[in-house]
């Protein structure tokens, strides 16, 4: 029995020393994969896309409104009800584009592309775009290609958010105290909560309300849930 145990141990070490390059290769591959996963996790955290995953659809629309303004676009948010498939209408360099916002947990299908195509004609825009925090089905990508609809998926959104953060870093590098500015540029999301919530439009119809009406809604948060309603649609909110 003792001889058998010794022979097994000897066989193990002979096999290990024979195949050690293979074991080292497997270990290196595993470490590289772990490093890539860790880097991707940090990249997503810096972009703020994980916070977007927790938003409702309306907040995501507001988020994109602020995002495209930061990218140099003139932005108009459409009516919440009866928007004909467009959540935003943006303008830049003489090009008018409708944007369909889809805050999804699953892949976005052809319906979003169809709505974008219809909205492009209705709003007399030059281009159409769908933006999501997720990805697209194969059919949606094929339909978008056939109708020249731009698709931003999760990766595109993350890259854009990180580009804004990098711009902050470049600006900070030119200041008198860059360490402080760079640190501030990397704290939190590139679009802060105040920018999203600083809104004077009715959540139902999109009508711009007065500051007095806005304050009334916010002061009565128990009734309105912190949302803004025009005078007409305040009546439809139960006390």
What is the rounded CA–CA span in Å between residue 195 and residue 19? 59
Give me the pLDDT at residue 110, please.
96
- Residue 149 and residue 130 in contact, taking contact as beta carbons nearer than 8 Å: yes
Angle between helices 2-47 and 154-172 (to 10 degrees): 70
The domain segmentation of the chain, as residue ranges, is: 2-47, 52-157, 199-239
For residue 138, the SS3 value is helix
Q: Residue 130 belongs to what H/E stretch? A: strand 127-132
Pair of tokens at residue 152: 């931003």
Determine how many CB atoms are found less than 10 A away from the CB of residue 105: 7
Span 196-213, mean pLDDT?
Answer: 70
Give me the pLDDT at residue 181, please.
41
pTM: 0.62
Is the per-residue pLDDT at 97 higher than 60?
A: yes
What digits encode the pLDDT tens for the residues 15-51? 656 665 666 677 777 777 777 656 655 655 555 677 7
Instruction: Name the residue with higher pLDDT: 225 or 125.
Output: 125
Q: Mean pLDDT for the chain?
A: 77
Give me the pLDDT at residue 68, please.
92
What digits encode the pLDDT tens for the residues 116-171? 999 999 999 999 999 999 999 999 999 999 999 999 999 999 888 888 776 655 54
Domain formed by 52-157, architecture: 3-Layer(aba) Sandwich (3.40)
DSSP 52-88: HTTS-HHHHHHHHHHHHHHTT-EEEEPPSSS-TT-SE
Pair of tokens at residue 25: 């290769």
Question: Under 8 Å CB-to-CB from 105, ≥6 apart: which residues?
Answer: 53, 134
Give me the pLDDT at residue 1, please.
56
């Amino acid at each position: 029995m003792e001889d058998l145990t010794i022979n097994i141990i000897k066989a193990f070490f002979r096999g290990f020393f024979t195949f050690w390059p293979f074991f080292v290769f497997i270990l290196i591959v595993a470490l590289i994969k772990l490093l890539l996963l860790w880097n991707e996790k940090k990249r997503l955290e810096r972009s703020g896309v994980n916070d977007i995953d927790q938003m409702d659809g309306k907040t995501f629309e507001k988020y994109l409104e602020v995002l495209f303004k930061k990218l140099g676009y003139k932005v108009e948010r459409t009516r919440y009800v009866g928007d004909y498939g467009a959540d935003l209408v943006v303008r830049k360099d003489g090009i008018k584009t409708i944007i369909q916002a889809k805050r999804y947990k699953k892949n976005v299908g052809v319906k979003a592309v169809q709505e974008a195509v219809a909205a492009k004609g209705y709003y007399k825009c030059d281009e159409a775009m769908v933006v999501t925090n997720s990805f697209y089905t194969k059919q949606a990508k094929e339909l978008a290609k056939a109708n020249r609809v731009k698709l931003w998926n999760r990766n595109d959104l993350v890259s854009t958010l990180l580009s804004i953060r990098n711009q902050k870093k470049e600006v900070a590098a030119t200041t008198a105290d860059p360490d402080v500015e760079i640190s501030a540029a990397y704290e939190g999301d590139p679009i802060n909560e105040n920018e999203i919530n600083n809104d004077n439009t009715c959540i139902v119809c999109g009508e711009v309300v007065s500051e007095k009406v806005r304050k009334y809604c916010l002061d009565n948060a128990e009734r309105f849930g912190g949302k803004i309603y025009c005078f007409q649609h305040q009546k439809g909110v139960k006390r």
